[in-house]
Amino acid sequence: MPDFVAPKGVPDYVPARSRGFAAVRSALLAAADRAGYAPIELPVFEDTALFARGVGESTDVVSKEMYTFSDRGGRSVSLRPEGTAGVMRAVIEHGLDRGPLPVKLVYAGPFFRYERPQAGRYRQLQQVGIEAVGSDDPTLDAEVVAVADEGFRSLGLTGYRLEITSLGDRNCRPAYRELLTAHLGGLDLDEATAERARINPLRVLDDKRPHMREMLADAPLMLDHLCDACREHFDRVRAVLDRLGVAYEVNPRMVRGLDYYTRTTFEFVHPGLGAQSGIGGGGRYDGLMAELGGQSLSGIGFGIGVDRTLLACEAEGIPVGQRARCDVFGVPVGGTAAADAVAVLLGQIRRAGHRADMAYGGRALKTAMKAASGSGARVALIVGDQELADGTAVVRDLASGDQRTVPLAEVSGAVENLLGD
């Protein structure tokens, strides 16, 4: 055992898997970029009260899972458990909502939840998320869902499922909540479930235990009690998704772990991941901005788990990010002059946009050539005493084994030809 290991439940990503992680994150960011989302960089810790008020005091995320501590000035701060509250804080603080609407933002980074670690469930998790603030157009809901879908698709994922529902709004939800509470009151619930029902009756609905499913089979569902405006909104979101060719299932029992959701909510689920099957989720949060002291604007967004999306790619056998470490590998044979000559050639090759690496520390030719083929490069550049004296380099096609000696000035062109094949 080494003296130090990573904290419990926190993944390290080291090569070669780290390439997969970075490729997943880039693909998800690119999908948001294509839809006009601008990057936002925010602190990983915030005033604890922001999460208590924004995410909800009674949620597990806030009441049980936050990393909260006092800083040396005695302020209570928390590592961010999610991104939406911080984005809204920044939108209000910087007055972004006073410019053109909707404000469309994308972020990537680590979030922290003190959950029980297991496969796919970490205490430091990474998300790519988007938030669109200041429009309640259902087309925007469909866009947000489609951006997530596009991100997954662009990675080659096919085995996931999209579930969607509407949670109503402040007009229709209170009456529905009462109806559900009354219904639950008539059931013989165990103590823990009754307590959950008391804190938030909606959370009882996705109880997966067979006897509870049976007992809840005819519980009233929000979808059947939407007001006209929410119903129409949901219908339009679905119609646009249909026309976009984004497949979904309506799951009226979906429960999200954060309190700010209204109307459209959704989750992407991948069955290849075991218990932690949620690879991304999001929804509308029409009351959040006002709750945090801003003007009353609606918003919608998602958070996609980068860790879990990588696991999903692996489960589907998608070789994400598994490209060669470099295109060109330099092999100096002999003294430092050869090494310097190779380093200069590689500098030119990198400037031309190719990826290049070399053998360091005066390795023997055989060892260096082994490193070259291990690197996955297409081309090796070999410079020894003879080449130094002649002002040349050997350009070797590592795929075919063909090689030729070319003047230094022509090395770039020769490499370019081989890489262009």
Binding residues (CB under 6 A) for ligand HAM: these are 82-84, 113, 115, 120-122, 125, 127, 129, 131, 257-258, 278-283, 285, 301-303, 305, 307-308
- Residue 25 assigned to a binding site: no
Q: According to the annotation, is 416 in a ligand binding site?
A: no
Tell me the three state secondary structure of residue 148.
Answer: helix
What does the alpha-carbon distance between residue 110 and residue 310 come to, in Å, rounded to a whole number? 15
Q: How far is the CB of 306 from ligand HAM (least distance, A)?
A: 8
Residue placing its CB nearer to ligand HAM in the complex, 168 or 281: 281
In order, the DSSP letters of 39-78 are E----SEEEHHHHIIIIITTSHHHHTS--EEE-TTS-EEE
Neighbours of 34 (CB within 10 A): 12
Backbone angles phi, psi at 410, to 5 degrees: -105, 0
**Cβ distance to ligand HAM smaller for residue 145 or 377:** 145
386 annotated binding-site participant: no
- Choice between 88 and 328, CB closer to ligand HAM: 88
Give whichever of 282 and 321 is closer to ligand HAM, judged by the CB atom. 282
User: Is 256 annotated in some ligand binding site?
Assistant: yes
What's the closest the beta carbon of residue 61 comes to ligand HAM, in angstroms? 7
- Name 102's Cβ contacts closer than 8 Å, sequence gap at least 6: 132, 133, 134, 135, 140, 299
H or E element at residue 301 = strand 299-305
Q: How far is the CB of 279 from ligand HAM (least distance, A)?
A: 5
On whether 291 is known to bind a ligand per the annotation, the reply is no
16: preceding bond cis by omega (within 30 degrees): yes
Looking at beta carbons, which residue is closest to ligand HAM?
Answer: 305
By beta-carbon proximity to ligand HAM, the closer residue of 294 and 376 is 294
Residue 401 marked in a binding site? no
Min dist CB 283 to ligand HAM, Å, is: 6
Between residues 303 and 330, which has the closer beta carbon with respect to ligand HAM?
A: 303
Cβ(307)–Cβ(120) below 8 Å: yes
Closer residue to ligand HAM (CB): 223 or 254: 254
Nearest distance from C-beta of residue 37 to ligand HAM, angstroms: 12
Q: Is 264 within any annotated ligand binding site?
A: no
Least gap, CB of 193 to ligand HAM (angstroms) = 22
Q: Is 83 annotated as a binding residue?
A: yes
Q: Which is nearer to ligand HAM, 39 or 374 (CB)?
A: 39
Q: What is the 3-state secondary structure (H, E, C) of 78-139?
A: EECCCCHHHHHHHHHHCCHHHCCCCEEEEEEEEEECCCCCECCECCEEEEEEEEEECCCCHH
Closest CB 177 distance from ligand HAM, rounded Å = 21
- Tell me the C-alpha to C-alpha distance, in Å, between residue 182 and each of 178, 189, 204, 299: 6, 13, 13, 31
Minimum gap (Å) between residue 83 Cβ and ligand HAM = 5
3-state helix, strand, coil in the chain (%, to 5): 40, 20, 35
Phi first, then psi: what are they for 395, rounded to 5°?
A: -105, 115
Compute φ and ψ for 376, nearest 5 degrees: 80, 5
In the numeric block, which tokens belong to residue 128? 């790519």
Residue 248 vs 285, nearer CB to ligand HAM = 285
* CB 419, min distance to ligand HAM, A: 37
**What tokens were used for 123?**
């205490």
Q: At closest approach, how far in Å is the CB of 269 from ligand HAM?
A: 9
**In angstroms, rounded to a whole number, what is the distance separating the alpha carbons of residues 1 and 197?**
46
Phi, then psi, of 243 in degrees rounded to 5: -70, -30
Rounded to 5°, the CA angle 337-340-342 comes to 110
Using the minimum distance from each CB to ligand HAM, give the nearer residue, 193 or 309.
309
Dihedrals φ, ψ of 49, to 5°? Answer: -65, -25
> 113 a known binding residue?
yes
CA angle centred on 108, ends 105 and 112, rounded to 5°: 120
Binding residues: 82-84, 113, 127, 131, 256, 260-261
Binding residues for L-histidine: 82-84, 113, 127, 131, 256, 260-261
